[in-house]
């Protein structure tokens, strides 16, 4: 039915997953998988966390949607929780990471005023698949066939402050960066680089946008990855993990930048509806109730295991990442390893051709990490 009725945008060699619990998922034939993809970094609390299930079911019975024409209590509560948790001032809610980045670009352009519209982002970045976020994405492979890209996007090598400084011109309004590049191969920023970018933005009056769609919300062992670097962005974008599996995205901004948006400037029919915000409120509460710290500890544990494995298996050329956003770069394409792991009941993903990407649920335990490492070891030994 898929091959007959769906557009063929996804290559799907994998099984049909029909049930999930915690770090595990089961396919339609009852086969069990340890899930180190978690819906591409979405299921921070694992599959079907009981608190998320309870909150979604309860809210679904009260009110699913009402539109932003009306006050939405859950939305205000979620904005408050995000502001208090991150130190940012105000939120706008949408439905996905790409939409969050679109909103951030619009906010930065309006904030800068007429004539300043260019956004600088990094090579190897990934910011989404809508036309503007695709133009911001620093990978021409994703853009091929969809040209011309919207005007106003410049790309510079990641972690190269001089290149960024040279690219910033009179029309530049913002710098858009992932503190840890995800899809581009799990590349953390250098702390000195991000500090330098902040100073550059302050000197030139540029808005600094951090895309934390993948690296935010505890994934790196801090609520925002920015905390690792001691750098505060003017806008941060979130999605993926925010709703515990329910679609919701957000931008958070400082008071000064947020004040640019006036009624009618930006909107979303579904953005921040009561059901999405109920899912996000409970997800955030559980994350802040010790899960983020747990992720930091488990990230260290997993990383040590991967480093030991790299010492034994010469195909692994580098282990890198932050918290539970980890990668093992191979000296060869990684898809065969991904397929063999899946056959043995471990779901992992490969990005940038040779980079095995690990995004386990943040509630993962040592036993599961150990199991994943031994499957990986077996597969690499073969």
Shortest distance, CB of residue 125 to ligand PLP, whole angstroms?
Answer: 7
Structure tokens at 5: 């009725």
Question: Is residue 188 near ligand PLP by the rule CB under 6 A?
Answer: no
Minimum CB distance to ligand PLP smaller for 92 or for 126: 126
Say if residues 356 and 320 touch (Cβ distance below 8 Å).
no
How many alpha carbons lie under 13 Å from residue 156 in its C-beta half-sphere?
Answer: 19
Question: Is residue 98 near ligand PLP by the rule CB under 6 A?
Answer: yes
What b-and-e string marks burial along 75-103, b requiring 16 or more CB atoms within 10 Å of the CB?
beebbebbeebbebebbbbbbbbbbbbbb
Minimum CB distance to ligand PLP smaller for 238 or for 373: 238
Phi first, then psi: what are they for 278, rounded to 5°? -65, -45
Q: What are the C-alpha distances in Å from 62 to residues 59, 66, 134, 212, 243?
A: 5, 11, 38, 31, 18
Q: Per the residue annotation, which of 158, 211, 234, 246 is the catalytic one?
A: 211
Which of the residues 14 through 43 are near ligand PLP (CB under 6 A)? 40
Span near ligand PLP by CB under 6 A; candidates 83-91, 93-101, 250-258, 363-371: 93-101
Separation between Cα atoms, residue 254 and residue 332, nearest integer Å: 43
190 CB neighbour count, 10 Å cutoff: 14
Span near ligand PLP by CB under 6 A; candidates 78-86, 120-128, 159-167, 299-307: 120-128
Shortest distance, CB of residue 319 to ligand PLP, whole angstroms?
Answer: 20
126 is catalytic: yes
Question: Is residue 138 near ligand PLP by the rule CB under 6 A?
Answer: no
Question: Is residue 97 near ligand PLP by the rule CB under 6 A?
Answer: yes
Question: Is residue 219 near ligand PLP by the rule CB under 6 A?
Answer: no
222 is catalytic: no
Nearest one of 286, 281, 301 to 360, comparing CA atoms: 301
Q: Per the residue annotation, which of 36, 92, 117, 126 is the catalytic one?
A: 126
Count of positions on this chain that bind ligand PLP (CB under 6 A): 15
Shortest distance, CB of residue 62 to ligand PLP, whole angstroms?
Answer: 26
- Residues forming contacts to ligand PLP in the complex (CB under 6 A) are 40, 96-98, 101, 126-128, 178, 182-183, 211, 213-214, 239
- Positions marked active-site: 126, 211, 240
């Amino acid at each position: 039915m898929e091959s007959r009725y769906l557009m063929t945008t996804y290559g799907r060699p994998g099984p049909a997953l029909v049930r999930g619990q915690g770090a595990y998922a089961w396919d339609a034939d009852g086969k069990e998988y340890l899930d180190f993809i978690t819906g591409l970094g979405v299921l921070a609390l694992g599959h079907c966390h009981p608190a998320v299930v309870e909150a979604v079911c309860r809210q679904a019975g009260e009110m699913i949607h009402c539109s932003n024409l009306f006050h939405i209590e859950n939305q205000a509560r979620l904005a408050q929780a995000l502001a208090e948790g991150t130190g940012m001032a105000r939120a706008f809610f949408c439905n996905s990471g790409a939409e969050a980045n679109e909103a951030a670009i619009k906010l930065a352009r309006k904030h800068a005023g007429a004539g300043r519209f260019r956004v600088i982002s990094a090579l190897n970045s990934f910011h989404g698949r809508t036309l503007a976020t695709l133009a911001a994405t620093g990978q021409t492979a994703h853009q091929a066939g969809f040209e011309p890209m919207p005007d106003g996007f410049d790309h510079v090598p990641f972690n190269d402050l001089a290149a960024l400084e040279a690219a910033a011109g009179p029309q530049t309004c913002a710098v858009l960066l992932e503190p840890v590049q995800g899809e581009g191969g799990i590349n953390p920023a250098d702390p000195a680089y991000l500090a330098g970018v902040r100073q550059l933005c302050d000197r030139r009056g540029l808005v600094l946008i951090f895309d934390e769609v993948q690296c935010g919300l505890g994934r790196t062992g801090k609520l925002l990855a920015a905390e690792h670097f001691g750098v505060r962005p003017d806008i941060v974008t979130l999605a993926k993990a925010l709703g515990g599996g329910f679609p919701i995205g957000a931008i958070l901004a400082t008071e000064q930048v947020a004040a640019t948006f006036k009624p009618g400037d930006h909107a979303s029919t579904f953005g921040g509806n009561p059901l999405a915000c109920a899912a996000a409120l409970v997800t955030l509460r559980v994350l802040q109730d010790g899960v983020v710290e747990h992720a930091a500890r488990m990230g260290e544990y997993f990383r040590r295991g991967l480093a030991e494995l790299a010492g034994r298996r010469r195909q692994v050329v580098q282990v890198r990442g932050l918290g539970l956003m980890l990668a093992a770069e191979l000296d060869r394409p990684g898809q065969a390893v991904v397929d063999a792991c899946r056959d043995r009941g471990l779901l992992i993903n490969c990005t940038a051709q040779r980079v095995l990407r690990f995004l386990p649920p943040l509630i993962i335990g040592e036993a599961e990490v150990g199991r994943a490492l031994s499957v990986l070891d077996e597969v690499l030994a073969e």
